[in-house]
Structure 1
Amino acid sequence: MKSAFTEVQKFNQWWLRIILLGIVCLPVYGLFQQLILGEPFGSTPMSDLGLVLFFIGMLLMAGLFWYLELRTELDAAGIRVRLRPISSEVFTWDQIEHVEIITYGFVGYGLRFSRRYGTVYNTSGNKGLSLRLKSGSRYVIGTQDPEGITQVLRTLDKI
């Protein structure tokens, strides 16, 4: 079914990119110093293989943040949210008791669990689509386009 609303968010914070660049550059510098210059890196240096494995691990971690994506889709069938590659949820309209756009306090990034908001999917900002299910479960899906979601919810006659 074609979505009436689709939003794709990535982790694009400047400070996160600097941190990720730093954690990749550190082992690159260590590899250069230890393998090219022939000088041990640090006061208790790793083996060459250990340094290579550390570099690969940091590269994979940075790649994970590049790959992470929060996709939100709304249509006549319901709401789908996916935090690739970690989690995905599908909420049909008959499962949802209440839906609204809210402004919330900082809860962290990624997939979070909050006493106040329930399960939170967030990449940045403080606006989100709040869901209360008939089962009592609560969810917040962060958004950078609250007006777009509101417009679709009105079109679908959900608010």
Structure 2
Amino acid sequence: METKFTETQRFTQWWLWVILIGVLLIPIYGIYKQMFLGEPFGDNPTSNIGLIVFFVTILGLVIGFRLIKLHTTVDAKGISFDFLPFSSKEILWSEVLTAEVIDYGFVGGYGVRLFTNYGTVYNIKGRIGLHVVLKSGDEFCLGTQKPDELKMLLNKLTILEV
């Protein structure tokens, strides 16, 4: 077995994309109805510029969800992760007090969750992650969809240190 774990996660939940695309269809329909058919969109219609601004905002949100990814690497040097575009860290094993795969439960949603019982939680989906406590007292948790593979690597790295 190789002494390296890598994982890249993206928002691929079908229900999330149904919601995002559904919300995106609202301003598209409004623009079509108001600008192309000449009928007001709603009981108190906004301006055409307002509809376009709404569309661009929602489109930016959809594109943002598409671009977000959590890339985790664990190897003999330490742990590194990129939660693009929000955070990026590299931690050497010499800075780590404990590292274990845990079920952190529901932490209020996906993305970056601050001030949880596990420090900052970075997750894309699920409730399993690598909980890391640093010697400084800081802690964080990285969501994973490959807990067994990560556990095996952590066990192997522990054996190599002895």
Normalised-by-shorter TM-score class = over 0.9
Partner of 1:51: 51
1:88 is paired with a residue whose SS is strand
Matches within 5 A, 1:4-19: 4-19=4-19
Q: Could you tell me how far apart the structure 1 residues matched to 2:116 and 2:22 are?
A: 34
Q: Tell me the equivalent position of 1:142.
A: 143
1:4-153 mapped onto 2 (5 Å cutoff): 4-107=4-107, 108-153=109-154
Gaps of 5+ in 1: none
Once residues 75 and 105 of structure 1 are traced to their aligned partners in structure 2, the CA distance between those partners, rounded to angstroms, is 26
Structure 2 regions of 5+ residues with no counterpart? Answer: none
Q: Structure 2: which amino acid aligns with 1:122?
A: N
CA distance, structure 2, for counterparts of residue 109 and residue 89 of structure 1 = 19
Question: In structure 2, how many angstroms separate the alpha carbons of the residues matched to 1:56 and 1:89?
Answer: 32
Aligned-partner Cα distance in 2 for 1:112–1:16: 18
Task: Please report how far the alpha carbon of residue 6 of structure 1 lies from its aligned counterpart in structure 2 after TM superposition.
Answer: 0.7
How many pairs were matched up? 158
Equivalent residue letter for 1:72:
T
Summarize deviations over 1:25-77 as a string: whole Å, max 9, x none: 00000000001110011111111111111111110100000111011001111
1:57-98 Cα offsets, whole Å, 9 max, x none, are: 110100000111011001111101111111111111011000
Aligned partner of 2:138: which letter? S
Q: Name the SS of the counterpart of 1:52 in structure 2.
A: helix
Q: What amino acid does structure 2 have at the position aligned with 1:69?
A: K
TM-score normalised to the size of structure 2?
Answer: 0.92
In 2, the alpha carbon distance for the partners of 1:60 and 1:124 equals 21
Q: Quick one: distance in 1 between partners of 2:23 and 2:42?
A: 16
What is the deviation of 1:154? 2.1
TM-score, normalised with respect to structure 1 = 0.94
- Alignment RMSD, CA only? 1.7
SS in 2 for 1:156: helix
